[in-house]
Amino acid sequence: MSDFSTAAALVTGANSGLGFEAAAQLAEMGYGSVTLACRTQDKADTAARELAARTGADVFDTLVVDVGVIESSRKAAAELVNRGRAYDVALLNAGMVPSRLDRTVDGIEVCFASSLVGHHVITTELLEAGLLDDASVVLVGSEVANDDLPRFMGMSVYDFALGEPSDFGATPAEAMRNFATATAGPAYNGQRQYSTTKVFSAWWSAAMARRHGRSTRFFTVSPGANMGTAADRNARGPFKVMIAVMGKVGKYVGMDQPVPVGAKRYVDVAHGVGGPYESGATYTSRPKKMVGPIVRRDPAHLMDTDLQDTALRVLDELVTV
């Protein structure tokens, strides 16, 4: 498809950073409609004005949603279904890096909730309404899910995500539920919570591709290290310091790249640019890298179909409570 004048895209977390940039790139490609999903109407309206001014395209509409909250996500999904627009691309970009333990009103840890809960609700309801037929769904991932970055970063994934015995629970399903709700396991560690949540992101796309892959494509895509985003707005302590330092020197040591480059990873995979890309797969930087070309990554823990399917069942349970 080269004429995108009738194409429509949904972008979450679209008011800043990678989401804002991805929305701009879609408009610059000629998309006829780009829905900006943001937490407040003010943020969405501001983003729409700024994007229209930047791109010269009057193609932006808005959606208010807190993707970390189940009821907000259900209402947003119902609004999209009521509008009746079919989407060609959904870029599920919203998320955050936590610093301390917080739970949403649904009792779910905030990093897990903002990365997965609302995105699962919205995607599932759009699929049921037939509004994602033949669409590409891209969920934000991260290199940290591969569990091969330097240990000094403090972002190794938890044992259950590697298929190993865990203090989070006696079975994979129990461990996943307790991790998502932060109700058991070791002392809370925001960096490891983030990295393990990104493993769930990879599992989600793989399991969703098996469940819905006849009509819809699913990908988990890391934007790489992009220190110019607001993803670290909740970071504290040594991790906040590390991010600040990387923002200064990262581009010289392979730990930072411009936000437009990161956003283009989403857009390219969604449109098959530089591909082909396999539905259900995870694409990140090369092993032990955080910038540069993307490749398919298939470490054993990400490819474990039992863990993938269990994670999707647990997420189904969490959003139906």
Q: In which band, very low, low, confident or very high, does the pLDDT at 234 lie, cut at 50, 70 and 90?
A: low
Q: Is the pLDDT of residue 255 over 90?
A: no
Global pTM value: 0.92
* Burial class of residue 130 (count of CB atoms within 10 Å of its CB; 0-12, 13-18, 19+): exposed
Higher pLDDT, residue 253 or 284: 284
Asked, for residue 56, whether it belongs to a domain, the answer is yes
CA 20, CA 205: separation in Å to the nearest integer?
23
Please give the share of the chain, as a percent, with pLDDT higher than 70: 90
Asked, for residue 3, whether it belongs to a domain, the answer is no
Q: What is the pLDDT of residue 233?
A: 53
Residue with tokens 């049921």: 128
Q: Can you read off the two tokens belonging to residue 154?
A: 């403090």
Asked, for residue 47, whether it belongs to a domain, the answer is yes
Asked, for residue 240, whether it belongs to a domain, the answer is yes
Q: In which band, very low, low, confident or very high, does the pLDDT at 149 lie, cut at 50, 70 and 90?
A: confident
Q: What is the pLDDT of residue 178?
A: 98
Domain of 101 in residue numbering reads as 8-320
Q: What is the pLDDT of residue 204?
A: 98
Q: Is the pLDDT of residue 237 over 90?
A: no
CA 41, CA 12: separation in Å to the nearest integer?
13
Amino acid present at 60 = F
Cβ neighbours for 23, distance < 8 A, ≥ 6 positions apart: 9, 11, 14, 34, 36, 47, 51, 60
The tens digit of pLDDT for each residue in 176-213 reads: 999 999 999 999 999 999 999 999 999 999 999 999 97
Asked, for residue 2, whether it belongs to a domain, the answer is no
Asked, for residue 203, whether it belongs to a domain, the answer is yes
Give Cα 50 distance to the centre of its chain: 23
Q: What is the mean pLDDT of the chain?
A: 92
Asked, for residue 1, whether it belongs to a domain, the answer is no
CATH classification of the domain holding 186: 3.40.50.720
Asked, for residue 234, whether it belongs to a domain, the answer is yes
Is the distance from CB of 155 to CB of 142 less than 8 angstroms? Answer: no
Domain count, the chain: 1
